[in-house]
Structure 1
Amino acid sequence: MEFRGIIFISFLFLLLGVDSNAFPMNDLITKLPGQPHVNFRQFAGYIDVDENVVGRSLFYYFVEAEKDPMAQPLTIWLTGGPGCSSVGDGFGSVGPFIVTKDAHALQTNFFSWNKVSNLLFIDSPIGSGWSYSNTSSDYNNGDDSTNKILLSFMQKWYEKYPVFKSKDLYLAGSSFAGHFVPNLANALLDNNKESKQSKFNLKGLVEMINSSLYNEIKKECNVIDENNYFSNIKTTWSAKCKNLTYEANLAAFKTDAHNYSPQKLFDVFCAPCTENEQDLNLGKQVPKVSTEVDMCIPLRVQFYFNLPEVQKAFHGNRTNLSYRWKGCFTASFKYNEADKNLDMLPALQNLLQQSIPITIFSGDQDGIIPTMGTLQHLKKLAEELNINLTKEETWSFSNKEGGLKYEFGDLLKFLTVKGGNHHVTSSRPSQAFSIFKIFTINWMH
């Protein structure tokens, strides 16, 4: 199983002698276009991740907590894809602002995670958002190269913001960040063992078809032993297997080949956004709300980030890229196909074996990474570690059912989010914030 989902990880840096006034004021954002007034500061810019390679830089956006930022933890947000912009994703999910319906301004996000934490968004890997390299081979990304660059970024970001070396650190991410976050967590632990210069107190991690068709798929697509999730063998699916799984998608979404859209996988029930940037150029409002989910947020974010005044305010696009900013998958971006199918449960097992608590949540309308598949593999992971399922119950949100909660011993929690799709933080932002606050920060303290 390739593991994807919402994942939280926390660290504590035990370093003394920090200058609390050390902030890179050249990266201070005066005000973003169309932004409402706020009392917290924002910073954005580039971190050169390798002093031996000129022009290898990751772009970041940092937001102070709403209240008393020096007393709050730091949360890093990574978006998946791979190849999507974490910075852009922040303007449709966990960041302090949401792009307005006409995409020319911003409005307050009442469920921003900076209500309880400082936030740092990193465009990673190279080629995502405004992160770039002058070396063309750097755009051939994979899990290992991404992890090494992220580790270097963190070390150099703390040189720029040394005050945060003494703060709790949470790592969070969605979708393919289910690769990035556990890998980075293990890299930080390994780095701590090697350098012995800083101490990381890792507190935890926060990530329909009929039976006859199912049996056909099991028979034809049986090259992987699901009980052996340590397998890293690259799989080649047969044509018959591919046809059966495509047929399964059509059955699951009650549609035919003519009307089927892969975008439906992100949300089983909501139709994808069909509007375009030309509508926004004409000054139209472009929302598409279905079951309380606005499916056109990514389109509006993409339009906003391509406004010249926005790029200037962000200190972004310093290389004047030859292509327009895209939320995901720029033309130059590449990612190792074998890495996309690597199983991440061994990385999670390694963290659990070091007594690191893990909380994962998943939308129950996600057709890409269905909740039941995730639950089955987590049960297998717990079984391998002799951890029992100790609690299975609903969890409450605003006096309503938020979803289902499974607890495996004291270390592993899995929550489903009722009505949430692949992007829980944008489809059910209030529930996602509640999980972050109650089941992550409060639980780990």
Structure 2
Amino acid sequence: MNFILKMTSLLNITLVLLLSERTIVVASHGQLSSEKTSNIQNKDLVTNLPHQPNVDFRHYAGYVTVNEKNGRALFYWFYEAWTLPDEKPLVLWLNGGPGCSSVGYGATQEIGPFIVGTDGNSLQLNPYSWNIEANMLFLESPVGVGFSYSNTTSDYENLGDDFTAKDTYAFLHNWFKKFPSYRTRAFYIAGESYAGKYVPELAGLIYEKNNDPSLFINLKGILLGNPETSDAEDWKGLVDYAWSHAVVSDETHKTIRESCDFNSNNTWSNDNCSQAVDEVLRQYKEIDIYSLYTSVCNANSAYSENKQVVFNKSTSKMMPRIIGGYDPCLDDYAKGYYNKPEVQKALHVSNGLQLKNWSICNMDIFNGWSQSIDSVLPIYKKLIDAKLRIWVYSGDTDGRVPVLSTRYSLSSLGLSITRSWRPWYNQKQVGGWIQEYEGLTFATFRGAGHAVPIFKPSESLAFFTSFLLGESPPSQR
């Protein structure tokens, strides 16, 4: 799971909520009249968000039903691009967990335009918001995450990777009915951590379904940050990184290397292996595994105890508490803000009287996750063959999905190198290192933890811009 940025008054622009209807170009499938579509959009238009800074872009929030029979509905928050929204691409951002909120993390703490203040009440403007470059769509998925829900109890017992991909796919098509001008827009999917599985799986599903012209989504590429990719390589990278960064002893690392077969279905049946890995996790409880060199949150002792390393060794799932960097207590602030009656009312979640209990991560979903794909590398190969743009990046101070895990995973693809390892720059400083392969680009962010945009906001926005343009970041000062 997955945030404070220094704000600048230069971007404190006058609020202009354009309530007038915009001319809408409707795709041939799922046509709605311009008047009806405008009414649907205006119903979700956010106009009275408490303590919102003044901005001149519109944003929308609300529900999209993905299954009428079971009453499944996913909550979204959509920010138009700061300028020229009709000319800029659409980007879907997903956080992982599984069970964590893309609104609470991505939108609120990382790349959205509004960052919750330390009082859990105010909002501050993020001068490095990604909606400077794109129309940004944040989704709380699957049901049970954040404000998303199902009226059918059994749905919560069947949550898994495939379930999530299918519901997210249904969400997109139904969301396009609300916003039909985006149906043919250049579309990208981005995310981090366990969304390292969500994003390729969704991209693969879109690619397969695009054979039907009536279902076509103009997918151009995917962007993945510190992504869980392949369980075996992820585990190997985690323990090697812990050892190489002096978190565990030589003896513990040697035991793991000699007794653990992470490619085996019976990895944890070996007691020596299991106990040695437990020792790695025990040491990581002393610090923030998501950001090795920053402080932990001590503001609320009960909260801090609940935010220790959470791990399910059998499935390699781990709750991605994405905090660190500027302020390690950001999760608390988000929880305070999104449980305010006036906030939920403004976001069209409730009437302000019957509150929904919003949490940044749902541990019941995490613990009950029923199906997880071992590796998305085969999907990578399919997307590479389809000529989609694939960029992967790693904050190099993350211990949970460390740079070593990602390098091991990508190495196993056996891709040809087209541009060799070199530094990339932002504002005349080394942002990290980058290497380009046939069909894939990999980059590091120097000094960044698990949620890179928290630690390196300016660099992240510059990198995101390069990704959208399909151009390499600067390789000289």
Query: Normalising TM by the smaller chain, what interval?
Result: 0.7 to 0.9
Give the 3-state SS of the residue equivalent to 2:145 in structure 1.
coil
Matched, 1:213 2:230: no
Which of 319, 325, 332 is 1:299 aligned to?
332
Matched, 1:70 2:86: yes
Alignment of 1:193-208 (within 5 A): 193=211, 195-207=212-224, 208=242
CA-to-aligned-CA distance 1:388-410 (integer Å, 9 cap, x gap): 3631011111111111111113x
Tell me which of the two structures has the higher relative contact order, counting C-alpha pairs closer than 8 angstroms and 6 or more residues apart.
Answer: 1
CA–CA distance in 1 between the matches of 2:367 and 2:58?
A: 34
Contact persistence 1:75–1:169 (CA under 8 A):
yes
Matched, 1:43 2:64: no
Contact persistence 1:20–1:163 (CA under 8 A):
no
CA–CA distance in 2 between the matches of 1:110 and 1:29?
A: 20
Contact persistence 2:187–2:221 (CA under 8 A):
no
2:416 corresponds in structure 1 to: 387
Distance 1:333 1:219, change over 3 A: closer
Which of 379, 382, 390 is 1:358 aligned to?
390
1:248 corresponds in structure 2 to: 280
> Cα distance, 1:196 vs. partner?
2.4
Matched, 1:80 2:112: no
> Cα distance, 1:347 vs. partner?
1.4
Matched, 1:316 2:345: no
> Cα distance, 1:355 vs. partner?
2.0
Matched, 1:415 2:443: yes
Give the 3-state SS of the residue equivalent to 1:49 in structure 2.
strand
CA-to-aligned-CA distance 1:224-268 (integer Å, 9 cap, x gap): 16xxxxxxx5754433212212333566x6xxxxxx34x621111
Contact persistence 2:339–2:356 (CA under 8 A):
no
Which of 241, 251, 270 is 1:238 aligned to?
270
- Structure 1 stretches lacking a partner, 5+ long: 6-12, 226-232, 254-259, 280-289
User: TM-score with structure 1 length normalisation?
Assistant: 0.83
CA-to-aligned-CA distance 1:293-346 (integer Å, 9 cap, x gap): 22122211111111111111111157988873110125466543551x621211
**What is the letter of the counterpart of residue 293 of structure 2?**
F
> Cα distance, 1:35 vs. partner?
0.8
CA-to-aligned-CA distance 1:165-184 (integer Å, 9 cap, x gap): 12111111111111111111
**What is the letter of the counterpart of residue 391 of structure 1?**
S
CA–CA distance in 2 between the matches of 1:47 and 1:296?
A: 31
Matched, 1:400 2:432: no
Which of 40, 56, 74 is 1:58 aligned to?
74
CA-to-aligned-CA distance 1:265-310 (integer Å, 9 cap, x gap): 111111221223999xxxxxxxxxx995221222111111111111
Which of 465, 468, 476 is 1:437 aligned to?
465
- Structure 2 stretches lacking a partner, 5+ long: 3-24, 225-241, 244-248, 304-322, 473-477
CA–CA distance in 2 between the matches of 1:301 and 1:322?
A: 16
Contact persistence 2:294–2:325 (CA under 8 A):
no
> Cα distance, 1:192 vs. partner?
1.1
Give the 3-state SS of the residue equivalent to 1:419 in structure 2.
coil
1:328 corresponds in structure 2 to: 361
Distance 1:170 1:430, change over 3 A: same
Alignment of 1:365-384 (within 5 A): 365-381=397-413, 383=414
Which of 109, 129, 135 is 1:112 aligned to?
129
CA–CA distance in 2 between the matches of 1:57 and 1:104?
A: 27
Give the 3-state SS of the residue equivalent to 1:271 in structure 2.
coil
Distance 1:188 1:311, change over 3 A: same
CA–CA distance in 1 between the matches of 2:437 and 2:465?
A: 20
CA–CA distance in 2 between the matches of 1:125 and 1:113?
A: 23
Contact persistence 1:14–1:198 (CA under 8 A):
no
1:266 corresponds in structure 2 to: 290
1:345 corresponds in structure 2 to: 377
Alignment of 1:149-168 (within 5 A): 149-168=167-186
Distance 1:330 1:224, change over 3 A: closer
CA-to-aligned-CA distance 1:134-186 (integer Å, 9 cap, x gap): 11111121011111111111110001110111211111111111111111101
CA–CA distance in 2 between the matches of 1:320 and 1:302?
A: 18
> Cα distance, 1:357 vs. partner?
2.5
**What is the letter of the counterpart of residue 414 of structure 1?**
F
CA–CA distance in 2 between the matches of 1:277 and 1:29?
A: 35
CA–CA distance in 2 between the matches of 1:236 and 1:186?
A: 31
CA RMSD of aligned residues (A): 3.0
Contact persistence 2:324–2:449 (CA under 8 A):
no
**What is the letter of the counterpart of residue 150 of structure 1?**
T
CA–CA distance in 2 between the matches of 1:315 and 1:277?
A: 33
Contact persistence 1:365–1:420 (CA under 8 A):
yes
Which of 88, 111, 133 is 1:94 aligned to?
111
CA–CA distance in 2 between the matches of 1:318 and 1:145?
A: 30
Contact persistence 1:44–1:61 (CA under 8 A):
yes
**What is the letter of the counterpart of residue 245 of structure 1?**
V
Report percent identity of matched pairs: 34
